[in-house]
Structure 1
Amino acid sequence: AFAREDTLARWSARDRGEASATALETRGGIAVPDAPRPRVEVRRVDPATGRSEVVAAGPIDDFAPSPSGRYLALVERGEGVAADDPLVQLAPTWRSRLRLVDLRSGADWRVWADRDVAANLLDWASGSDRLLAWARPDAGAWRDGDLWLVDAAARTAAPQLRGRLDPLGPDAFDLMTAVRATWMGEIPVVFAARPGQARRDWQAVRPDGVETLSARVPNPTPSLAGVAADGLMMVADGGVWRLRLGEGGRRLTPDDQVFARREARDPYAPQRQQLNAYPARDWAPVFDPSGGLWIVQADGARRRLTGQGGTAAWMSGTADWGVVTRRRDGVTRLSLEGPHEARILATANADLARVAFPRIVDVPHPDRLGRPASSRLFLPTDRPVERIRGVVVMTYPDSGATSGLYEPGVLFQGLNPLLPPGAGYAVLWAAMPDAPPLERAEAYARNIDIALDAAAAAVPGLPVDRTAVVGHSYGGYAALMVASATRRHRAYVSWAGPSEPAVMWGEFQGTERAALSDNLFLLYRAGWAETRQGGFGAPPWRTPEAYRAASPFYRADRFADPVLLITSDRDVVPMSAAEMMFSALHRQGKPARLVTYWGEGHWAFSPANLIDVDREIDAWLDRAFRTSTEDPRSASSRSATSSPSSPRP
C-alpha cells in the first residue's frame, strides 16, 4: 500500500512539473537511500473513550508491551550494514536497536549502542518485567550473538548462553531461521544444541547451569503446544509430552495412540509472532487420526470432546471447550465443541457439498535418485479413465506431493490441482527432488517421466501420452527447464517462474522502486540465487557457466511446445522474467502467451483475477489437448526422449 501511494505521489509530482526522482547509493556495501524512513508512532488507546496518545515515535520496526503494562520494548532501525558473505537471503540490511520506554514516567533506555538485535525474538516473562532478546556485537556475525536477559526495572542486560548452547544449528541466520526461545515461568528456555552436537533440544537456562528438558523425546520439535510456569507441553513422535525440570521429558499419551497438533495460524502475522509466540497454558489440544479432538492435561489426564470427523484445526478455547474448524467435502464449519455437545456456529462454502471433488490416488515410486517418494494423482469423477482429456503435471522441486493444501475446500492463491479435473483432466502432483544447477533441466524432466510412468502403472489407461507441465514460482521455473529438455509434453504453464537467474539476482521488486527507504528485500533475490533454491553459491560474475546452464532464457532455442507465461507487476519475481522469456520465444516464432495481472504480487488475491488465472490455464490446456484428443495419431509421434530442438512432427 505504501509503495502504491509513493508511486502515485511521484507520478503526480511529475505531472505538476515537480521533481519525482528516487535515489539510492551504496557505500562500502551499505545501501543509503536519499529519503529517510517515515516516522512511525506507537499510540496508547483508551478503549472506553477512543482517545489516544503517542507514547513512542521514530524509525520503529517492532514493539512489544510488557505484561504489567509498564514498559514498552521498541526495535528501532539503525544505520545500514553490509551484507554477510556468504549472502543470507532474508538478512536485514540495517542495524536494529533495542529501546525500552517506561510508560509511567516517560523515561527511556537505549539498551545497547553497539549491539544488533534480531527481529524474531522479543519475549517478556509473564510474572516480571524481564525480556528475552538475541543480540550480536556490531563487529560480529549473528552466530557470535547471545541470548540476553534484559531487566527493565533494574536497567541491566546479561548474556545467558556464553557458548554453552548453539541455538542456530547448521542454518544461516536470517528472518526465517531464527532463535526459538521463551520463558518457563521465570526461567529462560531455548531450543538449542550442546556444543559439538547436531541434535537440538529444549534447554532450561539457569545461573547454575543448563538442563535438557526434552532429553527423552526421540525427535523434539521447536514448536510448543503450551507454556506454563512449571513446564512445557510438546507434541512430537505422535504423542503429547510434558517437559519439566528433573524429568527429561515424559510422554503423557499411550504409545499406541497417535495424536497430531493442528492449530490455525495467521500466515500474515509478523515472523516474530509466528516463530516465538507460544500458548500460555498447561494443557494441549490435539487430534486423533479420525479428527477427534482431545484435551491432554499436564498430569496426563485426557478427554475427548464431541466434534465429529473432517479435517480439523483448533482455533481457540479452554481446557473444557474449543472453537474448531472442520472441513468435509469442501464445506467448512466453525463449531463450539465441549465434553457433551458440539454446536455449529457458522458454515462457509455450503454450496461445495454439491461439488464432485476429484478422486485422489497416492502414487509411491522411487525418485530419480532411488529414494522413496510419493506423487499424488487427482482424477475426475465424472468420466472413466479412457475419457480423461489429458494429464496435467504440477510440480515444485523438493516438495512433497501430499500436502494438506490440496484438500477439498482449502482456498489459496496459487495453483489448485483440484480445478483441472473439473474440466476433464487428471492432475499429477509430481514429487521431485531438486538438482544442482548444471543438471536441472534433464533431472527435472527425468523425474517427471518417472512419476508419470508410476501413475500409468497405478491407473491403467491413464493418458500419459497427452501431458502438460504447470508450475508456480520455483515450480514455474522447473516447468520452463523441462520445456527445454524434452518433447514429451504438449504445453507448459509458468506462473511467476524466474526465467533468468542472473536477472533475478539483481533486479528490484516493483514495490521497492518507489519506497527505497524500506529496502528490507534489497538482497532478497540475490540471496535466493546464491543460497536456498537458487543454489548457485556465488553471484553471476563468479560462476557464469552455472547461471547460464540453469537459465531457461539461455535455453530458449531448445523450446518447441507452447508456453503460457503469467506474471504480476508487484511480484517478488520481476515481470521481466516472463517478458524476457516471451520475447525470446517470439523472436524465434515459437508459440507463447503472456498474461500480466496488475496490482497483484506473487499470488493472485483478487477473486476476479483468481478466476481469470484458472480460465487462462484451462483455455491453454484445451488448445493444447484438442488436437491430440481428436486425432490419436498426433500423440504417437511424440516421445519422452526426442530432442527438444528437433523439428516438430
Structure 2
Amino acid sequence: ITDHFSGGRPRVDARTGQVRKLAEGRHAYLSLSADGRTLAALGGIRMPRGAWRDPARLDSVRHILHLIDLDTEEVSSPLPELDIVSAGAIWSPTEPALTVFATGVGASVSEGRHWRIDAQTGTARRLSHGGLDLVSERERGLLQRPERAYALADGVVVFARPNADPADRSARFTYRDIAPAGLTRPDWYFLRPGSPPRILTGDLGSVTALPARIGAAGLDVVARDGVYRIHPERPAMRLTPDGLDRIRVHHASGFLAWPGSLPAARTAMPPIEADRDGARIVLRPATAASESAVLVEGRGIPGGAHLLAVQDAAGPRSGTLVYLDADAATQTLIVQPPGAAPDPRLVLNAHLRQVDWGQWERVEVEWEDPDRPGIVHDLHACVLMPPSAARTGAAPPVLLDIYPGARPNCDPRQPVLSYPDPQSPYMWAARGYAYARLSAPRELIRREAGPIAGLPGLVAASREALVESGLIDPDRIILLGVSHGAVAALHVASEASGFAGLIAQNGWSDLPSHYLGPPGIYTDLNPEMLGGNMPRYEAGAGSDFGIGATLFAAPELYQRNSPVLKAEQITLPVLLIHTDMDVFPKSQFDQMYAALARFGHPVRYVWYAGEGHGISSPANIRDVWDRMIDFVEASGPQDPSAEPVEDRDAG
C-alpha cells in the first residue's frame, strides 16, 4: 500500500459558508447514522504496482472504512487492516451499528466476511455464513460482490443460498454470470456471532434481493405474492393483501440511479404496484409507522401504465396517483385524485398513435452441440417483420442483431419510445427491413477455444432456421453488432459465411491492446482506471469475454479471439461506427479499419466527435441512419468472383 488519493472530505456549513476538512484523501459511499451523529465513508488507498488483483475488482484501489464523529470531528478506522468491498456501510435504522463486507488486503473477494460494527465503542464482530453461498449482485447485472446485508437485532441479515453440497459447511461467495441458470433459490438468513445461520424466508414464495424497507420492526422483503416483514425473533408477517402478483416496489431514485438500484437508506415504505384480479393496483402504507400497506382509493391503474408518484393527502386511504398510460408509442400523463376519475394532463407522441409498428414472430432454432455429438439445443430467434411485408408479401432483407448472452423475448408488444433511441428495431421495420434478435446463451457459446468461440456455429444455425422460415430474403442478411455485439459480430464474420454485410458500432477488435489499453473516456476522468479492462478478460465468471487468465499467461487465446488478427477472413462489406468519448477507445476501430483496408476488403468507417457509448445528437442520429441505410442498400448477394470494392469512406 502506498498512499491515499489526493483530496479531502470537507464539511460545509450551508448557513455560514464555513468549510473545514474532516478527513484526508478521496472518499466514496458516504452514509449517515440514524441519529445523524456519525458519518461513514470509504477512503481510497492506492495499491502497489504489480500487486495481485482479484478479477472481480475493477480497479487497483483498496477501501478503508472511516467513521467520522460529526460532534468532535474525530476520525476512526475500526477495521484498519481490511479492504471494504461492498458498496459502503449499511447503518441500522435504530442504533449506531453498521454492516460491511470486507476481505484481507490482497485477498480474493470470495474470501470476505460480513462484519457488524458498533460506532460508539468501535467494536467490530466478524460473522460467518458457514454452509451458505452469498448471492452476487452480478446475477442481476451489477458488480461481482455480495448483495447488501442489514444490521437487525444483534446480528446481520444476508441474502444467500445453501452450498451445492449439503455437507459443505464452508462460507462461500461464488462468482456468477448474469442471470445464471440451474441455481437453487436464494433466501434471507440471519447471522449471529457464535450461532449457525438461520433461514427467515423458507416458508415464503421466492424472494428478491432488494428489500422494500428496513425498520425497527424488521426487514420488509418482496416475495412472489406480497411483501412480508421478517425478524429473527418473530414469524414472518404479511403486510399486503392476498392475491397479488407481479409486484414492483417504487424506490426513490436520483442521479445515476435506475430501476432496481439500491439506495443506502430504506426506512420508509415506498409505493407498491401489483396485479390483483386482473387489474393493476397501487398500495402504500396507511401511515408512516404502519404495520401494513393499504390499497390507495380508486380502481388502480391500467395494466400498461407506469406509476410515477403517489402524492399524499389527508387520511390513511388517500393519495393522488400520477402515472403514464401507454397506447403503443403514445403516452398520456394521468393525474387521479382520490375518488375522482383519471385526469389526462399531457399527451406525448400523439403523432405516433396510428403508426403500424410491424409484427414480432418467433422462429425455432435447433443447434447441434459441436463438442457433444447428439446433443441438440432448442433455441429461438425473435423477428420483427416490417409492415410492408404484410402488404407486399415479399421477403424483406434482415438485420441479425448479435449480442453474447442474449435471451430475446418474442411476446407481442408495442414499442417503448421514452427517448430518441438510435438502436430501436422499429426504425429498421419502418424502413422496410426485418430485424432479428438471436438467442446466444453464455453457457453455450463459451468454449475451450474462447469465451465466444461457439457463437459462429450458433449464428450459422440461426441463419439456416430464418431462411427455412421463409420470412426473410436469404441473399440480404446483414450482421449487426453494438458494444459487446460489435466484437462478437466481427468474430462471427471471420468464421461464418452467407451474410451480405456487417455493421459494427461502438465496440473493439483487438483483445491484447484492449486488455492493456485505457477504458476510453473513463481514463480521462480517473487515471486509476488505466488497466481497467483487465478484469473483463481475467474473470472466470460474470464477463462475456472472460478468458480466466492474463494476457501474459494465455497470449494465444487472446490472439485467436481477436477479429483484427482475422481481418483477412472478413471479406464481406463492413461498416464501422465509433465515437471519441466512448468507454471503448476509438483506436480499436482505427485498427480494424486499417486491417480490413490492408487486405483490400470493402470497408467504410465513420466516427462522431463528442458522442459517448452510442449516438445521442439528433443530427448525428439522422446521419448515422442515412449511412446505415445506404450501406445496407449497397450490400447485396456476394459474388466470390467479383473484384473487391476499393471505395472506402473514413472520417
Tell me the distance in 1 between the aligned counterparts of 2:10 and 2:73: 13
Say how many residue pairs are matched. 596
Q: Aligned AA for 1:380?
A: P
Cα distance in 2 for residues equivalent to 1:438 and 1:141: 26
Q: Is the 8 A contact 1:364 1:373 kept in 2?
A: yes
Match of 1:409 in 2: 417
Equivalent residue number for residue 535 of structure 2: 527
How does the TM-score come out when normalised to structure 1? 0.79
Task: Report Cα offsets for 1:352-385 as digits up to 9, x if no partner.
Answer: 3354323222334445543343422112224536
Aligned equivalent of 2:281: 293
State whether residues 328 and 414 of structure 2, in contact with CA within 8 Å, keep that contact through their aligned partners in structure 1: no
Cα distance in 2 between the residues matched to 1:422 and 1:208:
64
Take 1:620 and 1:647, find their aligned partners in 2: how far apart are those partners? Answer: 18
Per the TM alignment, residue 488 of structure 1 is displaced from its structure 2 partner at its CA by 1.1
Helix, strand or coil for the counterpart of 1:418? helix
Letter in 2 for 1:181: A
Superposed CA RMSD in Å reads: 4.0
Structure 1 position 100 matched with structure 2 position 106: no
Residue 216 of structure 1 and its aligned partner are, at CA, apart by 2.5
| 1:189 aligned residue | 157
State how 1:479-518 maps to structure 2 within 5 Å.
479-511=489-521, 514=524, 518=526
Check conservation: 1:311, 1:328, Cα contact below 8 A. no
Task: Give, in angstroms, the shift of residue 330 of structure 1.
Answer: 1.5
From the superposition, tell whether residues 428 and 530 of structure 1 become closer, same or farther in structure 2 (CA, over 3 Å).
same
The structure with the largest helix share of the pair is 1
Structure-2 separation of matches of 1:520 and 1:337? 50
Question: Which of the numbers 304, 308, 313 marks the counterpart of 2:302?
Answer: 308
1:393 aligns with 2:400: yes
Distance in 2 (CA, whole Å) between partners of 1:446 and 1:315 is 48
Contact 2:109 2:145 in 1 (8 A): no
Query: Alpha carbons of 1:37 and 1:366: their partners in 2 closer, same or farther (altered >3 Å)?
Result: same
Give the equivalent residue in structure 2 for 1:582: 593
Alignment counterpart, residue 377 of structure 1, candidates 373, 379, 383: 383
| 1:361 counterpart residue number | 361
Contact 1:166 1:192 in 2 (8 A): yes
Change (3 A) 1:263 1:282: closer
CA gap of 1:251–1:566, structure 2 versus 1, over 3 A, is same
C-alpha distance 618-348 of structure 1, shift in aligned 2 (>3 A): same
Give the corresponding residue for 2:91. 124
Local SS of the residue matching 2:207: coil
Rounded to whole Å, the distance in 2 between the matches of 1:490 and 1:126 is 60
1:428-443 map, 5 Å: 428-433=436-441, 434-436=445-447, 438=449, 443=454
Cα separation, partners in 2 of 1:57 and 1:509, compared to 1, 3 Å: same
Structural mapping, 1:126-275, within 5 Å:
126-138=93-105, 140-161=107-128, 163=130, 165-167=132-134, 175-184=143-152, 188-194=156-162, 200-206=186-192, 209=195, 210-217=197-204, 219-237=206-224, 240-245=227-232, 246-247=234-235, 258-261=245-248, 263=250, 269=256, 274-275=261-262
Give the partner amino acid of 2:125.
Answer: A
Residue 417 of structure 2 aligns with an amino acid whose one-letter code is G
* Closer/same/farther in 2, CA of residues 91 and 270 from structure 1, 3 Å limit: farther
Residue identity matched to 1:202: W
Corresponding letter in the other structure for 1:295? L
Cα shift readout 1:137-178 (whole Å, capped 9, x = no counterpart): 326433333222222222322223375754256989994433
For 1:609, what is the secondary structure of its paired residue? helix
Question: What is the distance in 1 between the residues matched to 2:50 and 2:628?
Answer: 40
Q: Rate the CA distance shift 1:371–1:300 in 2: closer, same or farther, 3 A.
A: farther
Q: TM-score, normalised by structure 2?
A: 0.79
CA distance in 1, matches of 2:555, 2:384: 40
Residue deviations 1:268-304 (CA, integer Å, cap 9, x gap): 6379993464643457613339671342876586567
Counterpart among 608, 632, 638 of residue 619 in structure 2: 608
| Cα distance in 2, alignment partners of residues 332 and 38 from structure 1 | 48
Q: How does 1:73-92 map to 2 (within 5 A)?
A: 73-81=40-48, 87-92=54-59
Alpha-carbon contact 1:496-1:602 (below 8 Å) kept: yes
1:447 deviates by 2.4
5+ residue gaps, structure 1:
1-29, 629-634, 639-643
Alpha-carbon distance in 2 for matches of 1:445, 1:614: 27
| Counterparts in 2 of 1:380 and 1:284: CA distance versus 1, 3 Å | same
Question: Contact 1:380–1:421 (CA<8 Å) still a contact in 2?
Answer: yes
Cα deviation for residue 399 of structure 1 reads 1.1
The separation in 1 between residues aligned to 2:448 and 2:617, in whole angstroms, is: 35
Percent identity of paired positions between Structure 1 and Structure 2: 22
The structure 1 residue matched to 2:434, chosen from 422, 426, 435, is 426
CA contact (8 A) 2:129 2:191 kept: no
C-alpha contact 1:469 1:493 (8 A) present in aligned 2: yes
SS of equivalent to 1:577: helix
SS in 1 for 2:214: strand
Q: 1:221 to 1:550 in 2, by over 3 A?
A: same
Confirm or deny: 8 A CA contact 1:330 1:409 kept in the other structure: yes
For residues 594 and 603 of structure 1, the distance between their equivalents in structure 2, rounded to whole angstroms, comes to 15
CA change 1:326–1:157 in 2 (3 A) is farther
Encode CA deviations 1:571-614: one digit per residue, 9 max, x unaligned.
Answer: 22222221111111111111111112223332334343334333
Moved more, 341-350 or 216-225: 341-350
Higher relative contact order (CA 8 A, sep 6+): 1
Aligned-partner Cα distance in 2 for 1:120–1:273: 15
Q: Which amino acid aligns with 1:332?
A: Q
**2:357 partner amino acid:** F
- Structure 2: which 5+ runs fail to align? 167-183, 286-290, 370-375, 646-651
- The residue that corresponds to 2:180 in the other structure is none
Distance verdict in 2 for CA 1:437–1:278, change over 3 Å: farther
Change (3 A) 1:208 1:247: farther
Superposed displacement of residue 339, structure 1: 5.8
1:280 aligns with 2:267: yes
- One-letter code of the match for 1:363? V
Q: Is the 8 A contact 2:357 2:426 kept in 1?
A: yes
Distance in 2, matches of 1:495 and 1:410, equals 22
SS in 2 for 1:583: helix
What's the CA shift string for 1:378-402, capped at 9, x where partnerless?
1222453634541111120211112
For the residue of structure 2 that corresponds to 1:292, the secondary structure is strand
SS at match of 2:529: coil
Asked if the contact 1:228/1:282 (under 8 Å) is kept, the reply is no
Is the contact made by 1:391 and 1:463 (CA closer than 8 Å) also made in structure 2?
A: yes
Q: Structure 2 counterpart of 1:376, which letter? A: C
